[in-house]
Amino acid sequence: MDFSELFRNFPELTTTGLTQGAIYALVALGYTLVYGVLRLINFAHSEVFMVGTFAAMWTWNALGFNQNLSPSGVLISAGVLIAGLLAAVAVSSATAVAVELTAYRPLRKRNAPPLAFLISAIGASFVIMEIIGIATDRAPYGNMPELVSNKPLFTILGAEITPVQIVIVVGALVMLVGLDWFINNTRLGRGVRAVAQDPDSAALMGVNKGRVIGLVFLLGGVMAGVAAVFANLKYGFTKFNLGFLFGLKAFTAAVLGGIGNLRGAVLGGLLLGLVENYASALVGTQFRDLVAFVVLIAVLMFRPTGILGESLGRARA
Amino acid sequence: MSERKPLLEVDNVTLRFGGVVALDKVDFTLYEGEILGLIGPNGAGKTTCFNAMTGVYMPTDGAIRFRGQQISGKKRHKITKMGIARTFQNIRLFPEMTALENVQVGADAHNRGSVPSAMLRLPRFWQEERRGIKRAEELLEFVGIKGRTHELARNLPYGDQRRLEIARALATDPTLLCLDEPAAGFNPAEKVALLELIRKIRDSGVTVLLIEHDMRLVMGVTDRIVVLEFGKKIAEGTPAEVRDNPKVVAAYLGVPDAA
């Protein structure tokens, strides 16, 4: 236990933790949205995130930018970043919807038991992972331009803040607030909440359940696509199996905050990011991944439904 | 009476669950603009019949037609769009939504448009949203719970929850409203108020199907009554006719049927 290390680097650890947590939160939302409506853990969601990282990277490469050639000027960088963002969002959401249409919808039509969905989810996850694995020779890819600077911009309370961190945290915040608004204030969001709270009476009120389900997969895919670009900015590297551990941690974050609860997923993501960073300073980086799951078990022992509790309906605080 | 237009035809409907015959060749017609009562002792098949009529169950045999169109086998949200709305015997609101939002979900059924239209065609989206809110407020006033507009459904008193459920069903703009034991758990004063509301609904142009246990309530408000027992129709007619029917009396009092 190295407390001096923790205290000395506390501000730095906090900003890194929040940045990482923001990405977890975005991915966690995908798990929580689908769970809230279908009571299903969409294990293929980790791959929805992974394909987004490749989509963004290849788009940047196609535009002529790579690790040796970054665009110059803020405007061009922003344009390239947005192009990658659009590509990642499009590919991730298309993947998410494709998984729903091929792996889950046919099972629902035949009234399959919950276990069948779980196996189907794991199967879909492996199929996507292997396709990308084969297409990329299972190699790590770091061929990404530096679109947002990683150099400290200013210092707050001893923590150096980089533009990447600002872009990720602000960007994630915009997405989270936007999603929250969408679910709480639009007709489609009302439909999502109605199905989450009582699917049968929602159908009788004219809510098209199939469409609501498609919508939550789509929204989860959009969030995962944005998260994928942020992960590229932060790590500058991706691999066909990147989604596995990352997805597990985002899932952990969703359960930690209370699965099915949007704000819970955000809270869980941020918390997990912070705890991971504090813990690696305290007990060593090699324990980083272990800590995430120990925290999950510890929290669930005391609050089995997560910190904020279950239910998408309870999205309002 | 013959010039009245049939709205919903229950045509020789049989419904079996495994070996159990829940409905046995039930046959009756609901005419536009009337209040029809569906009564019978516990377990007579009222709710089963009701569920078949709203598309929850698919009849094993026979057909249910709404304005001449088959409804059996149709998806539930489609049946709602055709103009059939219902409430539940055990209240099923969206507990974590406000009263207004509950009604809005029903009103949303007529608004078209997909995700992109909600995100891109903003003016139309707001227009629809405003119209939905206005309609929902009118309906909350119509059923008499305007003061509860922004309370969560789960926090409403029982009677108001029932009224909210009716408002939500009306928000789908039904031609036919099916009420499943709406007076369950009401005191006499509340029942009188409910009768008034049901009449008001009919006078606004909505045909009403009422499933009810309370004989007096049914007698007081319905134009015609259909009586079920053990999944079979044993009587049909005006309240006075049904009340004097010996089979009905026997079914309700438990006297063995002489016939």
pLDDT digits (tens, 9 = 90+) for B13-54: 898 888 888 888 989 999 999 999 998 887 788 888 888 887
A200 touches chain B (CB under 8 A): yes
Residue with tokens 């009103």: B107
Has residue B254 got a pLDDT over 80?
Answer: no
What does the pLDDT average to over B120-144? Answer: 85
pLDDT-derived band at B112 (thresholds 50, 70, 90) equals: low
- Residue A45: the pLDDT is 97
Distance CA B23, CA B27 (A): 10
**Alpha-carbon distances of B183 from B36, B90, B218, rounded to whole Å:** 15, 11, 10
What does the pLDDT average to over B94-110? Answer: 90
Match domain B89-173 to its CATH number in 3.40.50.2300, 3.90.230.10, 3.40.50.300, 3.30.70.2190.
Answer: 3.40.50.300
Taking an 8 Å cut-off on Cβ atoms, the answer to whether A313 and B77 are in contact is no
What's the ipTM?
0.82
Chain A, chain B: beta-carbon pairs less than 8 Å apart: 85
- Residue B7: the pLDDT is 92
What are the start-end ranges of the E strands in B67-134? 69-70, 84-86
Taking an 8 Å cut-off on Cβ atoms, the answer to whether A202 and B80 are in contact is no
Smallest Cα distance from A247 to chain B, Å:
26
Domain boundaries, chain B: 1-74+176-182+204-259, 89-173
Q: Which residues of B touch A215 (CB under 8 A)?
A: 115
Backbone angles phi, psi at A44, to 5 degrees: -75, -5
Over its C-alpha atoms, chain B yields an Rg (Å, rounded) of: 19
Question: Which of the residues A179, A205, A222 would you substitute to probe the B interface, choosing the one with the greatest number of B C-beta atoms within 10 Å?
Answer: A205
Smallest Cα distance from B12 to chain A, Å:
24
Distance CA B233, CA B227 (A): 6
Would you call B23 exposed, middle or buried from its count of C-beta atoms within 10 A (0-12, 13-18, 19+)?
Answer: buried
In a domain, A273, yes or no: yes
Taking an 8 Å cut-off on Cβ atoms, the answer to whether A204 and B86 are in contact is yes
- Residue B106: the pLDDT is 87
Mean pLDDT of chain B: 86
Of B54, B96, B113, the CB nearest to A204: B54
Among B165, B175, B163, residue whose Cα is nearest residue B34: B175
Q: What CATH code is carried by the domain that includes residue A219?
A: 1.10.3470
Smallest Cα distance from A198 to chain B, Å:
6
Would you call B259 exposed, middle or buried from its count of C-beta atoms within 10 A (0-12, 13-18, 19+)?
Answer: exposed
Same fold, B1-74+176-182+204-259 and B89-173: yes
- Residue A317: the pLDDT is 33
Taking an 8 Å cut-off on Cβ atoms, the answer to whether B106 and A205 are in contact is yes
Taking an 8 Å cut-off on Cβ atoms, the answer to whether A200 and B80 are in contact is no
Are the C-beta atoms of residues A183 and A189 closer than 8 Å to each other? Answer: yes
Of B80, B96, B108, the CB nearest to A187: B108
Taking an 8 Å cut-off on Cβ atoms, the answer to whether B75 and A203 are in contact is yes
In a domain, A46, yes or no: yes
In 3-state terms, what secondary structure has residue B102? helix
Has residue B113 got a pLDDT over 60?
Answer: no
Taking an 8 Å cut-off on Cβ atoms, the answer to whether A205 and B80 are in contact is yes
- Per-residue DSSP letters for chain A? --HHHHHHTHHHHHHHHHHHHHHHHHHHHHHHHHHHHHS---TTHHHHHHHHHHHHHHHHHHTT-BTTBPPPSHHHHHHHHHHHHHHHHHHHHHHHHHHIIIIIHHHHHTT--HHHHHHHHHHHHHHHHHHHHHHTTT--B------S--S--EEETTEEE-HHHHHHHHHHHHHHHHHHHHHHHSHHHHHHHHHHH-HHHHHHTT--HHHHHHHHHHHHHHHHHHHHHHHHHHH--B-TTHHHHHHHHHHHHHHHH-TT-HHHHHHHHHHHHHHHHHHHHHH-GGGHHHHHHHHHHHHHHH-TT-SS-S-GGGG--
Smallest Cα distance from B199 to chain A, Å:
22
Taking an 8 Å cut-off on Cβ atoms, the answer to whether A206 and B108 are in contact is yes
A184 touches chain B (CB under 8 A): no
- Residue A179: the pLDDT is 95
Nearest CA in chain B to A316: B96
Residues of chain A with confidence (pLDDT) below 50: 313-317
A317 touches chain B (CB under 8 A): no
In a domain, A165, yes or no: yes
Nearest CA in chain A to B80: A206
Are the C-beta atoms of residues A178 and A171 closer than 8 Å to each other? Answer: no
**Alpha-carbon distances of B92 from B70, B85, B100, B200, B222, rounded to whole Å:** 27, 13, 15, 23, 25
- pTM of the predicted protein model: 0.87
Has residue B1 got a pLDDT over 70?
Answer: no
A26 touches chain B (CB under 8 A): no
Identify the contact set of chain B against chain A, taking CB-CB distances under 8 A.
Answer: 54, 56, 75-77, 80-81, 85-86, 88, 92-97, 101, 104-106, 108-111, 113, 115, 118, 125, 128-129, 132, 168-169, 171-172
The total of structural domains in chain A comes to: 1
Taking an 8 Å cut-off on Cβ atoms, the answer to whether A193 and B168 are in contact is no
Of A198, A206, A316, the CB nearest to B106: A206
Of A198, A208, A316, the CB nearest to B94: A198
Of A190, A203, A311, the CB nearest to B104: A190
What are the start-end ranges of the E strands in chain B? 6-17, 20-31, 35-39, 61-66, 69-70, 84-86, 176-180, 207-211, 224-229, 232-237
Domain limits for position A80: 3-144+155-314
Smallest Cα distance from A151 to chain B, Å:
36
A207 touches chain B (CB under 8 A): yes
Of A193, A206, A209, the CB nearest to B172: A206
Fold classification of B1-74+176-182+204-259 is: Rossmann fold (3.40.50)
Taking an 8 Å cut-off on Cβ atoms, the answer to whether A206 and B115 are in contact is no
Of B95, B109, B125, the CB nearest to A205: B109
Taking an 8 Å cut-off on Cβ atoms, the answer to whether B118 and A313 are in contact is no
Q: Which two tokens stand for residue A269?
A: 């993501």
In 3-state terms, what secondary structure has residue B204? coil
Calculate what percentage of chain B has a pLDDT beyond 90.
39
In a domain, A149, yes or no: no
Pairing of strands A159-161, B232-237: unpaired
* Helix axes A163-185 and A209-235, enclosed angle (nearest 10): 170
Nearest CA in chain A to B96: A313
